[in-house]
A and B are shown apart, each in its own frame.
Chain A
Amino acid sequence: MSLLKPFSKLPGLNTANILLVENEEQFQQKLADTVVLQEKNVNVNVRLARSLPLPMENEESRPRIDLVVFIIHLTSELSFQSAETSLKYLDPGYFQGKVCFLVTSARNVSVPPERLVSVRKLAASLHCPLLCAEDQTTEGVTTAAHRLLAILKVAAGLVPMATGLYLSTLTRCTVPSDIDQQNFE
């Protein structure tokens, strides 16, 4: 099993690398463009993938990935399943503050609420933060990029006195015990 390992390569100077994993390959492109434009002080590299494992051919040229973001579109069950299967190809070292879940269409009425509940449970069990993003407007994309950059800089070790593990204990997703009995009336 070719696991993606967090510390097997040397970090670059003033560089942060983020990997966006999305089954539909739509939102990741917009997000990548915005992220690269927004950050002026740090050199940000974005890698885009559809699912893990990543191809072996790029193993040499790939830099050390500081943050892996799984983009899940709640409108599609396949999106969630693809993210779940990709999780197996991550080294456990990533789950200490270097993985983040990003969901879209959380406010959409036609989305079954059970799906968001399963994503929350998954994120909580892995101690990862869960972000909700709005992918249809530019403001939504900009906001999502801004939040991802904040987490990325900590995960890459570029923020003094903060590490990814420390941040994740504050931002990790929690699931209230009565979530299965929730009903919106």
Chain B
Amino acid sequence: MDDSTNRILQRLIRRIPSQMFQTMLGKWAHLSREDLHSLDFTQPKWVLTEHLLAHCEEKGLTVKHITELEMIYIIENPNQGMWHGFQLLDAEEDAPSIELTQFKEQFKANLTELIRHVSIKIKKHTDEAIWIRVAWGDNFTKPNHLKPTYVVHHLQTPYVFVTGLTSKHKPLLNQALVLATRYGSMKDAHLSGRNLTAIRDLLMRQYQQVFPTKHPKPLQEKNPVPRNPNIEKEQAENTENRLQMACEAFGDGTLPQLQKAVYKLETKFRDNSNKTLTGREEPFRGVVEFASTNLLESLRHCVSSGMASTPVTPLLSSITQKGRNYFVITDKGV
């Protein structure tokens, strides 16, 4: 095992938190049961690192095997780094019938054709998602395993989620994916966040949605609090209406965790009190950013408590309706 491999293993071990360490190693195929039991997990991490390095030397493990461990860790904890959503367009006739082995072969073949030194690992997770790990090199250098790209794709859906991709490699990955999935092109879905499950749920509409009804009845609470007969709300109908509209726009129950919504404005400045800026021909460029630990939850609360006026403005409800969090607003529309 050479220096760079050692470094990769050390980096990886440092990255995995101590509580998860034992479970991760348990899932790794290259560490047998006896070896796992022989490791004392109460020792500090650097001691365990030494043991593991020695073990890998012994077994003659290479970078390929170590990256398997990294992949296991990332699949179990996908909510780190920045994930971006992409959408595949113009499906060809056989796109819905692509199955796993065909996809794997096609993807590997396409990508290795485009760039000689590249390391690809494909794995199918229990929830029908295909995970691809790509380490990029170029025509002269070996693949860089310290900055891999991870891609998640659900077969038969037109959605792809990517993290860790540089703009240099983006067109290559695009082309390989488009050819392997038998679609015409891939475009940016303008949805990004730290939480993979959240952006996946948002794009694939897997959260609890509320649909407008002709005869609205108030949303049933899960545990109705026994109401004191002496206390009465005067404007209860208004409150229920607001709650209904908030849930229609954003969903009910636990919402996908988005961190940001960015609106890039390219509209003309319009304020009659400011004569210097109004009336100019060029658009007044500005960026409005909403940030929160759980943005959709905050927006829903704003609407249901009356802070934001109802009906919900389409600027905010497009986050869930269109599944994006980056918008460019021009004078003609969104």
- List chain A positions with a Cβ less than 8 A from chain B: 19, 23-25, 32-33, 36, 43-50, 54-55, 57-58, 62, 78
For A62, what are the chain B residues with a Cβ–Cβ distance below 8 Å? 234
Give CA–CA (A37, B235) in the complex, Å.
23
For A58, what are the chain B residues with a Cβ–Cβ distance below 8 Å? 234
Tell me whether chain A's interface is mostly helix, strand or loop, or mixed: mixed
Is there an interface contact between A25 and B239, defined as CB atoms closer than 8 Å?
yes
Any chain A CB within 8 A of the CB of B237? yes
Is there an interface contact between A54 and B234, defined as CB atoms closer than 8 Å?
yes
Given contacts A46-B231, A48-B233, A78-B307, 9 further A-B contacts (CB under 8 A): A19-B234, A32-B228, A33-B231, A46-B230, A47-B234, A49-B235, A50-B238, A54-B234, A55-B237
Give CA–CA (A78, B234) in the complex, Å.
20
Question: Can you give 19 A-B contacts (C-beta < 8 A)?
Answer: A25-B239, A25-B305, A25-B306, A32-B228, A33-B228, A33-B231, A36-B231, A46-B231, A47-B231, A47-B233, A50-B239, A50-B306, A54-B235, A55-B234, A55-B237, A55-B238, A57-B237, A58-B234, A78-B307
Is there an interface contact between B235 and A44, defined as CB atoms closer than 8 Å?
no
Is there an interface contact between B232 and A46, defined as CB atoms closer than 8 Å?
yes
Is there an interface contact between A45 and B230, defined as CB atoms closer than 8 Å?
yes
Give CA–CA (A44, B229) in the complex, Å.
10
Give CA–CA (A78, B305) in the complex, Å.
13
Give CA–CA (A24, B234) in the complex, Å.
14
For B237, what are the chain A residues with a Cβ–Cβ distance below 8 Å? 55, 57
Output the residue of A19, A44, A58 with the most chain B CB within 10 A: A58
Is there an interface contact between B305 and A47, defined as CB atoms closer than 8 Å?
no
Q: Min CB distance, B306 to chain A, in Å?
A: 7
User: With A24-B305, A25-B305, A50-B306 as given contacts, are A55 and B235 in contact (CB-CB < 8 Å)?
Assistant: yes
> Residue B232 contacts which of A23, A24, A33, A45 (CB distance < 8 angstroms)?
A45
Q: Min CB distance, A61 to chain B, in Å?
A: 9
B307 nearest CB neighbor, chain A only: A78
For B231, what are the chain A residues with a Cβ–Cβ distance below 8 Å? 32-33, 36, 45-48
Is there an interface contact between A49 and B233, defined as CB atoms closer than 8 Å?
yes
User: With A25-B239, A25-B305 as given contacts, are A49 and B230 in contact (CB-CB < 8 Å)?
Assistant: no
A25 nearest CB neighbor, chain B only: B305
For B235, what are the chain A residues with a Cβ–Cβ distance below 8 Å? 49-50, 54-55
Is there an interface contact between B228 and A36, defined as CB atoms closer than 8 Å?
yes
Give CA–CA (A57, B237) in the complex, Å.
10
For B238, what are the chain A residues with a Cβ–Cβ distance below 8 Å? 50, 55
Is there an interface contact between B234 and A49, defined as CB atoms closer than 8 Å?
yes
Output the residue of A19, A24, A48 with the most chain B CB within 10 A: A48
For A25, what are the chain B residues with a Cβ–Cβ distance below 8 Å? 239, 305-306
For A49, what are the chain B residues with a Cβ–Cβ distance below 8 Å? 233-235
Give CA–CA (A58, B228) in the complex, Å.
18
For B306, what are the chain A residues with a Cβ–Cβ distance below 8 Å? 23, 25, 50
Q: Min CB distance, B220 to chain A, in Å?
A: 19
B238 nearest CB neighbor, chain A only: A50
For A44, what are the chain B residues with a Cβ–Cβ distance below 8 Å? 230
For A48, what are the chain B residues with a Cβ–Cβ distance below 8 Å? 231-234
Q: Min CB distance, A175 to chain B, in Å?
A: 31
Give CA–CA (A93, B305) in the complex, Å.
31
Give CA–CA (A43, B228) in the complex, Å.
13
For A43, what are the chain B residues with a Cβ–Cβ distance below 8 Å? 230
Give CA–CA (A62, B237) in the complex, Å.
15
Q: Min CB distance, B305 to chain A, in Å?
A: 7
Give CA–CA (A57, B228) in the complex, Å.
21
Residues 272-320 of B contacting A (Cβ, < 8 Å): 305-307
For A55, what are the chain B residues with a Cβ–Cβ distance below 8 Å? 234-235, 237-238
Residues 218-246 of B contacting A (Cβ, < 8 Å): 228, 230-235, 237-239
